[in-house]
């Protein structure tokens, strides 16, 4: 009986380990107006704009609508989305050839608890580049475009590394609407006469996670307002004493 119990425990554990996380194609989320609920975060109203350049055979995925999306939680317990990789661009001869997987992803994110607001955004991914290969990620929260925008760029000649969530990528988001610009670019170069070097970029899964803060209580707003009013009166008093 004990052996049977141990066997069932092992089978159950293995089953939990190999069970894949649920993913859904980005195109399906857009066409069905679908949503993803991960922990206390809800993601809705997905939109996509594709500005890819180059031979689709040199890009993975060749159509961003095929990108698989799933809910994700990082090591510090913040919930968000995972864009399932790989994301690849490979340029070919002749010199000057470019492969560019580039797209805009928009969505709304909210906290299921109405007493909390979205605060910081973190992202994480790893990459490898060959020749002139680069990845650029631009994120904007809300509108207009020059408010709450941040850029992450990595490139190199045979470079590799990890971009992790140790620091917030975008602080004080204060908006439910998110816009990400993803650009994976490879270019064929000629560093020396007669030497043609193809470029490549290979990026792993991209994780986007969000923190939240409590909505200030009315008393907090009153205290803040009183403090600002007091500061204004103090400055006016100082100016009158100086004249």
8 A C-beta contact, residue 199 and residue 59? no
> Is residue 199 classed exposed, middle or buried when 0-12, 13-18 and 19+ CB atoms within 10 A define those classes?
buried
8 A C-beta contact, residue 132 and residue 186? yes
Q: What is the pLDDT of residue 235?
A: 58
Q: What are phi and psi of 42, to 5 degrees?
A: -120, 135
Q: What is the pLDDT of residue 230?
A: 57
Could you give the CA distance from residue 52 to residue 99 in angstroms, rounded to a whole number?
Answer: 8
Please give the average per-residue pLDDT across 87-106, as a whole number: 90
Residue bearing the bigger pLDDT, 167 or 27: 27
Domain 51-222 fold is Jelly Rolls (2.60.120)
Name the 3-class secondary structure at 195. strand
Banded model confidence at residue 50, pLDDT cuts 50, 70, 90: confident
Instruction: Indicate if the pLDDT at residue 114 is higher than 70.
Output: yes
Per-domain residue ranges of the chain: 51-222
The single residue listed with the structure tokens 């709450």 is 148
Tens-digit pLDDT profile for residues 140-156: 887 655 555 666 666 65
Q: What is the pLDDT of residue 238?
A: 56
pTM of the model: 0.76
């Amino acid at each position: 009986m004990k052996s049977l119990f141990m066997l069932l425990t092992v089978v159950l554990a293995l089953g939990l380990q190999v069970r894949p996380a649920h993913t859904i194609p980005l195109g399906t989320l857009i066409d069905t107006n679908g949503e993803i609920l991960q922990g206390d975060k809800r993601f809705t109203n997905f939109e996509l704009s594709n500005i890819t350049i180059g031979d689709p055979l040199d890009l993975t995925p060749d159509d961003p609508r095929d990108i698989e999306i799933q809910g994700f939680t990082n090591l510090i317990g913040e919930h968000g989305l995972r864009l399932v990789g790989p994301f690849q661009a490979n340029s070919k001869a002749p010199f000057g050839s470019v492969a560019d997987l580039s797209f805009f992803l928009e969505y709304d994110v909210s906290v299921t608890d109405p007493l909390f607001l979205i605060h910081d955004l973190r992202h994480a991914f790893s990459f490898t580049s060959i020749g002139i290969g680069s990845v650029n990620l631009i994120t904007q929260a809300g509108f207009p475009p020059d408010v709450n925008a941040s850029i992450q760029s990595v490139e190199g000649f045979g470079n590799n590394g990890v971009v992790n969530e140790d620091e917030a990528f975008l602080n004080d988001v204060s908006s439910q609407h998110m816009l990400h610009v993803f650009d994976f670019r490879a270019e064929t170069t000629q560093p020396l006469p007669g030497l043609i070097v193809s470029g490549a970029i290979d990026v792993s899964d991209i994780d986007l996670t969000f923190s939240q803060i409590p909505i200030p209580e009315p008393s907090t707003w009153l205290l803040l307002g009183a403090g600002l009013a007091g500061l204004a009166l103090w400055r006016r008093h100082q100016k009158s004493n100086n004249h």
